[in-house]
Structure formats: C-alpha cells, structure tokens
Chains A and B, each alone.
Chain A
Amino acid sequence: MTARVGVVTFPGTLDDRDTQRAVRAAGAEAVPLWHRDKDLHQVDAVVLPGGFSYGDYLRAGAISRFSPVMETVLEQARAGMPVLGICNGFQVLTETHLLPGAMLRNNHLHFLCRDQKLRVENAATAWTADYAPGQEISIPLKNIDGRYVADERTLDMLEAEGRVAFRYATAGPAADGYGNPNGSLRDIAGITNEAGNVVGLMPHPEHAVEPLIGTGRTDGLGFFTSILKKLVGA
C-alpha cells in the first residue's frame, strides 16, 4: 500500500496537475481534492499547489483560506497531518496563520520567473527529510507576491526554533540563480510550523522532478519522496 497525497484545486489554481505528476513520480498516489468539498477522501497528506486562486483578489490566498476544503485541512494539519503549501499554497497557509508572517509584492514590483538556488536549512520536517542540512538545490521560482515579511520578534523566533526551512542561496552570481529574488526578510524562502508537519515555500519543487523537463534537474523530487518515506516508512 502506498501513501495517498491530496492535491487541492481552487478556482485559479495552475499547478495542480504538475503537483499530481510529482506525487506520482515519487511513487505515491495523487488524489485530486476540490475546494468546495470538505471531504479529504482519506488522504495521508495534502499539497496546496501554486497559481492565482480567486485571482489573488483582496490578497493572495485570502479568499481560498475560507473555502470548505480548508476547514478540514486546517483541522487535520493541527492534528499532525503533513501539509505542503507551494507559492500560492504558501500564501494560503500564512493567511490561515498556520504559518506566521505574510507575503507581499516583490520589492522590484516585477513578476519573476527563473531557476532559483535555495539552501535547505531544516532537513527534519515531513517534507525535507530526504535532503541534507545545508544542501543547495535549484528549483523554479515564479511569482509577483513572493516577499516574505514578519515582525522582528517572529523572525527571531523562527530562527531560534530552526523553523526557517529554506533560504535563498546568495553565495553566487545572479545569472546562476543566486541571490534574494524579491526582498524577503532574512532571505527566507520557506518556513515550517513548530511540529514540522506544515511547510510552505515560494519556489516550485513540483516543476523539478523529471529530467526531461526544464533544467533537467530533479532537485524538487525530494519533497515528495520525503513525505512518502514518512508515511509508509519506505
């Protein structure tokens, strides 16, 4: 028996199909979940994929956060079910306050799409166990509201508790995907909750799981193999 990983589709979600492919590439079963359906159909984990749910009206993720499916996702996440939010999914998770802080317009005001170098800071979460602490990975980044902000006290707490999961790697030239791409405070690209079951990040691991596509790197696959190992002990 393999793990069942749910992938939520909101109106305006773009990356649900790629996320389902990534789940299957890791060897798990992908279960499509619909925003109006409270039932999670016995999934073992949930991914909130990227896109522009509800057109990003009001604030990115603000309206999706109140959709029926999120009621159950929130309840289950608090009970320990692994949840990964990618890009718009990360914005939804900050709007629910499952993860602290918020995402704002990039400091340069442009939509940015590039392969981004990240450093794995916490390799002990449900979604990062297949990486090594300090490992550098390269996965696509594509957003306009990607600037992570939180107050100083929250940032200090995240750092002290090891809850910065990913940072934008800055030790190289921009042409190679290094550097803080949007003004995120303390170069934060992704964070985790206290228990390590909920992770959110702006870049897109689901777009980097097959050697034939994109840069040919499969650096994103580890998210999905991590969760599979955790769930089935493979």
Chain B
Amino acid sequence: MARVVVDVMLKPEILDPQGQAVQRALPRLGFEGIADVRQGKRFELEVEGPVDEAALARIHEMAGTFLANTVIEDFTVRVDEAVRAES
C-alpha cells in the first residue's frame, strides 16, 4: 500500500493565532530563536492500488474540495516514497 501525504496550511495572509500562541510559549520553555510559527494539518492517505497520475488527480480533487478550504488554506500533495519502498 502506498502512502500519499496532503499538507494543509493557512494561506500566508491569514492570521494564525494558534501558531502565534505556540511561538510565544517557546521562550518560556527555553527554546530561543524561533521568529514565527504557523500551524497546519497533515493527512496521511493509505491508497489502495497504484498511485498513478489518475489516482493523484483524484486526491488533488479531494484535497481541494474537502481536506482544504481553498478560501483560507493552501495544500500540497506528495507521495511518501519511504512507505512506497517498504511495500
């Protein structure tokens, strides 16, 4: 089984108060030097059958209509080659 990873991030112009809260907590915990944090989502899809162009096109469509709301979020789709090699 192959794994496809969909990463979803808020668009750069959208304020991310959750990321800011994480960033502000870092110095308190002794982690210095982090200027900015933005928080996103990662989906790992275990795909049945071959991950060919058609399968990837379907996953793109799924990501654009459901996993991400493209009004506020960008997404990327990639095949996890490590998982593919194992199987």
Q: Which residues of A contact B (CB under 8 A)?
A: 58-59, 62, 66, 94-95, 97, 100-102, 104-109, 147, 149-151, 183
Contacts and interface: CB of A to CB of B under 8 A. Distances in A.
B34 interface: no
Nearest to B41: A58
Nearest to A63: B66
B45 to A, nearest CB: 14
14 contacts: A58-B66, A58-B67, A66-B66, A100-B71, A102-B71, A105-B17, A105-B18, A106-B17, A107-B15, A107-B17, A109-B17, A150-B71, A151-B13, A183-B15
B7 to A, nearest CB: 14
The secondary structure that dominates the A interface is loop
Interface of B: 10, 13-15, 17-18, 21, 66-67, 69, 71-72
A60 to B, nearest CB: 10
Nearest to A97: B71
Contacts of A109: 17-18, 21
Given A59-B69, A106-B17, 8 more contacts: A58-B66, A62-B66, A101-B71, A105-B17, A105-B18, A108-B17, A109-B21, A183-B17
A150 B11 CA distance: 11
B15 to A, nearest CB: 7
A-B complex: 3 closest residue pairs judged by Cβ atoms: A102-B72, A102-B71, A107-B17
B67 A104 contact: no
A40 B14 CA distance: 37
A66 B67 CA distance: 12
Contact of A104 (B13, B21, B72): B72
A62 B69 contact: yes
Given A101-B71, A102-B71, A104-B72, A149 B14 contact: yes
A55 to B, nearest CB: 15
Contacts of B13: 151
B64 to A, nearest CB: 12
Contacts of B10: 104
Contacts of A107: 15, 17
Contacts of A59: 69
A170 B71 CA distance: 27
Contacts of A101: 71
B12 to A, nearest CB: 12
Contacts of A151: 13
A104 B66 contact: no
Contacts of A58: 66-67
B14 A104 contact: yes
A116 to B, nearest CB: 20
Contacts of A108: 17
A85 B69 CA distance: 18
